[in-house]
Every structure is written in C-alpha cells, then in structure tokens.
Structure 1
Amino acid sequence: MAILMTIFIFGIPFYFVIINAVKDATESASLNMAWPASFHIIDNINAVFQAQNGMIMRAFYNSIMITLLSIFLLIIMGSMAGYVLQRKKSKLSPLFNFLILAGLIIPPAIVPTIWVLNSIGLFKTMPGIVLVEVALHLPFTVLLYKGFMATIPKEIEEAAIIDGCTKSKLFFHIIFPLLKPVSSTVIVLTAVAVYNDFVNPLYFFPGSENATLQLTLYNFTSMYKTEWNLLFTNILLISIPPLILFIFFNKKIISGMTSGSIK
C-alpha cells in the first residue's frame, strides 16, 4: 500500500512533466495528461538551450560550481566540528550544541546578510553565495556527523595515538575514511537542497550572468504568456543531475542518517 501511494504521489507529477515536455506549445497549453499527437522533445530541448543566448548553459555551470564547493566545505567543516563535539567534552559543549540547534531553528535574515556580504565585497559573487549555502546547511551536517561519530570506537583513536599518530593524521587518515556512509548522505541531501535552491541565489547572487538553473524557469513565463512545453522541458533537464546522484548514492543515505541514532 505504501509503495502504491509513493508511486501515486511522486509518479503522477513526474509523468505530467514528461508528457507535457514532449508536446508542442498548443497541446501543452491544455495542461492535461493526454498522450500527444506528435512528439516535439528535440525541438523543445533546442529551444530551451537557445533561450536568452544560452542562459541555461551558464546556469548549469553556476549551479554545479555552487553545489560542489558547498559540499566540499560542508564535508570538511561538518566532519571536523562533529568530531570535536562528540569526542571533546568541556564546559562549553552545551553552548556549542545549543548554537547548532539554533542554526536549525532561526531563519536567515535577508537584508542583514546582503549588508554583510556587500560590506566584505562578496555580494553577487560565487564565494558569497557558497558561504551562505554552507552557513544554512552546516548545523544539519554537524548533527549527522556527530551522531555517526558515536558509532566509531574510541579504542581506534587510542591505538593510533599510542603509535605516535598526530591529531591531524588521526582525523584525516583514520577517522575521516570511516565517515563514508554519512558523507554520502551529506552529499546527496546537500546537493539536492543547494542545487534546487531558488530563494538564496535570487537574493544573494542576482544578475543574468549569475543565473542558476532554478532561475531559468523565468525564461518561459511572463505576465501575458507562458510557454508550457519549454517550461516543462526545462524542468525535465534540470531534474536529471539530482536523479543520477540519487541513483548512485541511495543505498548509503539511510545508513548515514540512522547510524548513531541509538547511542
């Protein structure tokens, strides 16, 4: 029953997008799930890539670079912070744990963030939007790594220290390779969230040259006309990378999220 409900909830919208992406402008304007009289997917794809002087190609580059840089920083910073919070107990540990939880609860402030980015010269820049994405997703990433770190026996670290291993080598050569399941979870969840982010690039990374894939949907909508066939084709194209990523990493998502939950 659950499988049928899942197919119904996710399969029907996906079918709706695909079936309207292969129609021409007239048929897609009906917004129904009827089979098309003829297929125009190649023409629609060509039109999408030619729109706004090939904006979608620039958007692909921007979205992929923002996603990759954000994932890299989140994995490094999140794993190190999770390790310290799990292993190094001190009087300040409750405060740090509270700050991590506060990062999950408190929403970002748009205007102050723009002011800060502009004052340090990072507004409308790739490093600026990457730092924003990292700041928003770091609390959840730290919690995942902290929970998974509880499943790693301390005896491994003690043995490495006895053998003369330095703190940096202990983490990067021994602990970090053991974090592959949770790192895979972070990669998939963060990649999908950053890749599909619409609001933050709109506010903190404006400009036609800085367009991300979600913003290219505006190319086919206006006050008086919407090219539904091209809009759905665009949606279909930008959905392919997250789908491929999920196919390769889906087996490790659950293990990465549930490990440490019983500690």
Structure 2
Amino acid sequence: MKKRKRLLLLGDIIGMVSAIVIFVFPFLFMFINSLKDRREANLLSMALPKEFLWENYKKVFEANNYIVLTAFKNSFLLTVLSVLGLIIVCSMAGYVLQRRKDRTMSIVNFVIMTGLMIPPAILPTIWVMQGLHVYRTLFGMVMVEIALQIPFDVMLYRGFIGTIPVELEEAGYIDGCKRASLFGKIIFPLLKPVTATVIILNAVGIFNDFTNPLYFLPGSKNATVQLTLYNFMGQYSNSYNLLFADVILITVPMLIVFIIFNKRIVDGMVAGSVKG
C-alpha cells in the first residue's frame, strides 16, 4: 500500500509539473515579452526585461483608432447574444426531443446530431448569408455561432432533462399548467447546472473564435478580439512586444471566467451525460 501511494503521489507530481510546463510557461513567456521593448522582445527569450514597459498595453489600446476597444465591444455583444439564443433554442429543443418518443423526433435528433460530425461549409454559408442580407453583420454572425453550437448543447440539455421525473410535469398538468408555462415555471428552473455549463463553454468558445468572424464578419469596424491578433501581426510583424500584449489582454477575461467556474463546467457535463 505504501508503494502504491508513493506511485500515485509521483504520478500527481508529474501531472502537475506537466500542466505547468504546457499551460503556465507559454503564458509567462508572453507576459514577460509583452513588457519588453521591440528589440528585446524580438529575441523571444525568457530573460527579464531591462525595463518594464507597461505602456505597451496602452499602445495596444490606442493603435488603429482604438480598434481593440471596438473589438472588445463586438466580441461582448456577439458572445452575449449567441449564448442567450443557444440557451433558449437548445433548452426547448432538448426538452421536446427527450419527452416526445416518436419517429419524427428520432429523425430530427439524427439530423441535429450529424452537426457534430459534419464541418461547416464556408462558401455555401456565405452565399446563404448574402441572400438573407446578413453577411458582414453582427446578427448574421450570431446566427452562425448558434447554428454551429446547437448539436452539442441540445445533447447536453436532452441528457439532463432525462434525469427530471415526468411526475413533475404530470402534477403541473393537473394544476392547470399549459405546455409553455410548464416548461418556463417548472422545467427550466431545474436546468441551472447544465445551463451554467452551456453558458461558460459557449462564452469561452465564441469569445475566442477566430476563424468564423474572419470569414463571416470581415471589416475593421466588425473586428473581434481574436481578429486584432491578425491585424497586429500584419501591422507589427516584428513588434512581438505589442503582439504579446494584445494576446494577454484578450486572454485574461476568459481565463478568469474559466478558473472561477471550472467546477460548474465539470458538474454540468457529468450531470447531463452520465445520469441521462
């Protein structure tokens, strides 16, 4: 038993050191280089700067007529609207798919789940958005983000709703609740754990999305925080200090959210998959 405990402790230490090397070291490397001048940062070393230049972060904010501030506003709106849409659509879809057991719902469920395996097609999506006159608009980008995340979120909600006793709904029917009020007053309040998981996972994913805004939301006025990296790399191709400062600025908000709500992410996914 002592030998087994020692091996487990050794495994924990190795895992912790590996995590530090994989996750903490790159972040520390970027932070140190973001405080250097241009010449020092271009050496890409872990040496401490001769002088800590905190004004690099100010330069990032002021670059291109405060494009970073505009990008934060766009990313915030995109994230909030997309997450709200996903909660509304996926919670109701998951409820219907879980409670209705017929052939039609089986086909609908199959179609939704294929979205987990089939990647999005860029050009057809752009053609559809242009036909609907939502290309290069925040509304169109919100619709794209919602469509991409629906399969996974419906799966989470459906699994969790399967753990809710049907007797609660039957009692609601006896008390005179209609279908809409039954879902809103009885079922949805019970979905808080999985809803927290959906909020956090999608908020982090959408806020950090680079590819989709690049294709579907072009233009400097529509820039999101991840696209500022693309712009800085083009404008400051040799100024790694400003590039790393921008990376730190857009990484910290979601990193804090993830650290605070990490336990809720795990609990919500386990509740929605194992119990369901």
Q: TM-score range by the shorter chain?
A: over 0.9
Q: How far is the alpha carbon of 1:38 from its aligned partner?
A: 1.4
- List per-residue Cα deviations over 1:92-149 (Å, max 9, x = no partner): 1221221122111111111111111111110011110000000001110100101111
Q: 2:252 aligns with which of 237, 240, 252?
A: 240
| Structure 1: gaps (5+ residues) | none
> With structure 1 as the length reference, what TM-score do the two structures score?
0.96
CA distance in 2, matches of 1:129, 1:20: 34
Kindly state the Cα deviation for residue 151 of structure 1 after the two structures are TM-superposed: 1.3
Which AA in structure 2 matches 1:248? Answer: I
The aligned residue for residue 75 of structure 1 is 87
CA RMSD of aligned residues (A): 1.4
The one of 54, 58, 83 aligned to 2:66 = 54
Whole-Å separation in 2 of the counterparts to 1:96 and 1:222: 44
- Aligned-partner SS, 1:51: helix
Which is worse superposed, 70-79 or 91-100?
91-100
CA contact (8 A) 1:79 1:145 kept: yes
Compare 222-231 and 189-198 and name the one that shifted more: 222-231
Is 1:5 the counterpart of 2:14? The answer is no
Partner of 2:185: 173
> 1:211 deviation in Å?
0.6
Decide whether the 8 Å contact of 2:236 with 2:243 is kept in 1.
no
| Corresponding residue of 1:27 | 40
Q: Do residues 156 (structure 1) and 168 (structure 2) align?
A: yes
Is 1:88 matched up with 2:100?
Answer: yes
Give, in whole Å, the separation in 1 of the partners of 2:85 and 2:113: 20
Please tell me whether the aligned partners of residues 159 and 275 of structure 2 are also in contact (alpha carbons under 8 angstroms).
Answer: no
Distance 1:57 1:49, change over 3 A: same
Q: Which moved more, 1:242-251 or 1:166-175?
A: 242-251
Which residue of 2 is the match for residue 225 of structure 1? Answer: 237
Unaligned runs of 5+ in 2: 1-13
1:16 to 8, 29, 36: 29
Identity of aligned residues (%): 53
The one-letter code of the counterpart of 1:26 is R
* 2:145 matches 1:133: yes
Change (3 A) 1:120 1:65: same
**Match in the other structure for 1:208:** 220
How many residue pairs get aligned? The number is: 262
CA distance in 1 between partners of 2:260 and 2:82 (Å)? 19
Q: CA deviation at 1:251?
A: 2.1
State the AA in 1 paired with 2:234.
S
Displacement after TM superposition at 1:60 (Å): 0.5
TM-score by length of 2: 0.91
